[in-house]
Amino acid sequence: MPRQVDYEERRRRIAEAVCTLIARSGMEAVSLRDVAAQADVSMGAVQRCFRTKEDMLLFALKHVSQHVSERANQRIAATHTPQAAATLLSHTLAELALLDEASKTQAHVWLAFVAHAPASEKLAAVLHDTYAELHRLIAWLIRYGQDTQEVLQGLDAEHEAHTLLALADGLTVHVLAGQHTPATALALLQRHIDVLLTNPSDRG
Amino acid sequence: MPRQVDYEERRRRIAEAVCTLIARSGMEAVSLRDVAAQADVSMGAVQRCFRTKEDMLLFALKHVSQHVSERANQRIAATHTPQAAATLLSHTLAELALLDEASKTQAHVWLAFVAHAPASEKLAAVLHDTYAELHRLIAWLIRYGQDTQEVLQGLDAEHEAHTLLALADGLTVHVLAGQHTPATALALLQRHIDVLLTNPSDRG
DNA sequence: CACGTTCTGATGCACTTGCATCGTATCGCA
DNA sequence: TGCGATACGATGCAAGTGCATCAGAACGTG
């Protein structure tokens, strides 16, 4: 058995390079050569890792999706000291909205992929699954809040989750478009969540 | 004075072709040759109309933006028989959200441009202006509704307008991503508007 | 230390891209 | 009807694309 390489690690490294390039100058600016240069590997290495360019882009999308989902799940799972459900809801949505400066790259990439999803079956599938998972998560949080009497009982958790997700996505877009600062977007999101709470001062 | 051509008409024709191609297979699939073929003109004609490809894309974006803004404005201006402010608000937002099947192409194009705005100064400027105008419009409608006692007095029209716009955009994205049908998205939007009304049955 | 397998990266190739060029067709006007 | 300005569209061109190829380096194993 000759020289062995950690392909997973390399794939991730290349995916990061793809994201950097997409965030910098859009999706059509991503060429195999540029990716190789950005990831500091040879073009041959890229081609060995991914059969085609489309495979590479798809992997990059999954990479980002996974990153976002995981972060949201961890935020919840890591809550040893039981937090207020309302706080949890606020923080989780704030993270999903990719509002902070550090998430800007991911937001760029996400938007680029959403824009191209209609032209690619597989891409659309990944996005669909990710959204479904996030929706499940938010709806669960809302029901949890209702159990703890923090969220109004009359609300339909499924509907409110859809609305919250759409609002979060819309705000992400508006921040990227320079229409809002992350801070004002966050405030708008919080204002909307407050309406759902029995006691708005419960905010996190 | 020799052969004269209606350049504006041709520009619009080419812009339509650009939109069709973007909607069909994304922005990077738009080449001058494809555009020429789609618009059923020669490549030379395209090059005569637009100095560069970027100019062409920019014009296409303005074309769509203008189309959307105009439709919203007309909806309001054409209201001879005074409609309920709440109805006006609902209908206007529903149109802006580009939810119906007929607007799907425009939604595609809008999304493609938003995704590429971070990579293009001029593109971002056009989007910024369009959003500002739409925000002004929605805020005005809310204040109008407050004047007619249809919308709750305590609301901050500016804030609510931002939220509504973000929600509309988010829903547009979700519909394009196949997460919602236009009908369910519309219902979600309406549910949110209802919360702002003094008498929710006023819906249009 | 060789052997054989795996990985590498440079190069080639067919193709497409945006843009420039230029002879020709087309029209308004004298 | 002929002139001259204008628009046309085919073609050329250099650059860049994704992907295939392949000689050789790098490495674990006998």
Nucleotide nearest to A51 (CA to C1'): D19
- A91 burial (CB, 10 Å; 0-12 / 13-18 / 19+) is middle
- Taking a C-beta distance cutoff of 8 angstroms, is the pair B10, B56 a contact? no
B181 touching A (Cβ < 8 Å):
no
- Taking a C-beta distance cutoff of 8 angstroms, is the pair A15, A58 a contact? no
Q: Give pLDDT tens digits for B10-64.
A: 999 999 999 999 999 999 889 999 999 999 999 999 999 999 999 999 999 999 9
* DSSP single-letter state for residue A197: B
Pairwise CA distance, residues B52 & A128, whole Å = 36
Q: Round and report the angstrom distance from CA (A124) to C1' (D17).
A: 25
Pairwise CA distance, residues B90 & B141, whole Å = 10
How far out from the chain centre does Cα A56 lie? 19
* Chain B residues near residue A178 by CB distance under 8 angstroms: 124, 128
* DSSP single-letter state for residue A110: H
State whether residue B134 is helix, strand or coil.
Answer: helix
Listed residue (B182, B180, B145) closest to B160, CA to CA:
B145
Helix extents (H) in A81-156: 85-96, 104-116, 121-147
For the segment B138-147, the average pLDDT, to the nearest whole number, is 96
Q: Round and report the angstrom distance from CA (B175) to C1' (C17).
A: 33
| Closest CA of chain A from B3, distance in Å | 38
Q: Give pLDDT tens digits for A86-145.
A: 999 999 999 999 999 889 999 999 999 999 998 898 999 999 999 999 999 999 999 999
Test the B interface: residue of A34, A167, A184 with most B CBs within 10 Å: A167
> How crowded is the C-beta side of B114, counted as CA atoms within 13 Å?
33
Pairwise CA distance, residues B128 & B113, whole Å = 12
Q: Taking chain A, what is the end-to-end CA distance rounded to the nearest angstrom? A: 55
B27 touches strand C (CB under 7 A): no
A66 touches strand C (CB under 7 A): no
A127 touching B (Cβ < 8 Å):
yes
Average pLDDT across chain A, whole number: 92
DSSP of A8-31: HHHHHHHHHHHHHHHHHH-GGG--
| Six token digits for residue B177 | 């991503």
Q: Give pLDDT tens digits for A38-64.
A: 999 999 999 999 999 999 999 999 999
Contact call for B131 and A174, based on CB within 8 A: yes
Pick from A111, A116, A188: CB nearest B163: A188
Pairwise CA distance, residues B177 & A113, whole Å = 10
Between A173 and B201, whose confidence is greater? Answer: A173
A114 touching B (Cβ < 8 Å):
yes
Largest CA-CA distance found in chain B, in angstroms, rounded: 64
* Chain A residues near residue B168 by CB distance under 8 angstroms: 170
| Six token digits for residue A53 | 């360019």
Q: Which amino acid is at B66?
A: Q
A42 touches strand C (CB under 7 A): yes
- Taking a C-beta distance cutoff of 8 angstroms, is the pair A19, A60 a contact? yes
List, in order, residues 6 or more apart from A49 with CB less than 8 Å away: A7, A10, A11, A14, A56
Distances from the Cα of A102 to the Cα of A97, A98, A190, angstroms: 12, 8, 20
Cα Rg, chain A, nearest whole Å: 19
Percentage above 90 pLDDT, chain A: 80
A1 touches strand C (CB under 7 A): yes
Percentage above 70 pLDDT, chain A: 94
* DSSP single-letter state for residue B52: S
pLDDT, residue B78, reads 76
Q: Round and report the angstrom distance from CA (B42) to C1' (D9).
A: 6
| Six token digits for residue A16 | 């990061």
B75 touching A (Cβ < 8 Å):
no
Looking at the DSSP assignment, which residues form a beta bridge with residue B65? none
Listed residue (A84, A75, A88, A97) closest to A186, CA to CA:
A97
| Phi, psi of B175, rounded to the nearest 5 degrees | -70, -45
CATH architecture of A58-202: Orthogonal Bundle (1.10)
Distances from the Cα of B25 to the Cα of A30, A63, A119, B28, angstroms: 16, 23, 5, 8
A136 touching B (Cβ < 8 Å):
no
pLDDT, residue B1, reads 45
